Amino acid sequence: MRSTVVDTLPPKVKRALGKLGADIALARKKRSLTTMMMAERLGVAKSTYLKIEKGDPTVAMGAYAMAFFVLGFDGALGEIIDASGDEQGLLLDAERMPKRIRVRKTPAPR
């Protein structure tokens, strides 16, 4: 059964995944690694690795993460969505800030 995610992916996301796969393939070739060597290092079947190079969205994110690691890009994964660079999120946080802060009065001890 095919995932409905694949059917609903926006064209921009499909292109981005395709570019990611092509970039992984290029990095592999620059390192003189065969597809079989990559598949073995990732711990996946060769057919799964070939799907990664095509940018297939049905491949588990862990397999993509392992490809980053094997190619030496393991730090890049943690930087994709960095909270400090989330301008939209920072704007939303600023909008939610209270206008005034009130201190609750506590009853005096008896």
In a domain, 39, yes or no: yes
In a domain, 104, yes or no: no
Least-confidence region, from 16-20, 47-51, 71-75, 93-97: 93-97
Q: How confident is the model at residue 12 (pLDDT cuts 50, 70, 90)?
A: very high
In a domain, 80, yes or no: yes
Of the candidates 57, 20, 23, 59, which has an alpha carbon nearest to the alpha carbon of residue 39? 59
Q: How confident is the model at residue 91 (pLDDT cuts 50, 70, 90)?
A: confident
Contact 26, 53 (CB under 8 A): no
Number of domains observed in the structure of the chain: 1
Cα 38–Cα 7–Cα 74 angle in degrees, nearest 5: 30
In a 10 Å sphere around its CB, with 0-12 CB exposed, 13-18 middle and 19+ buried, how is residue 28 labelled?
A: buried
Which amino acid is present at 35?
T
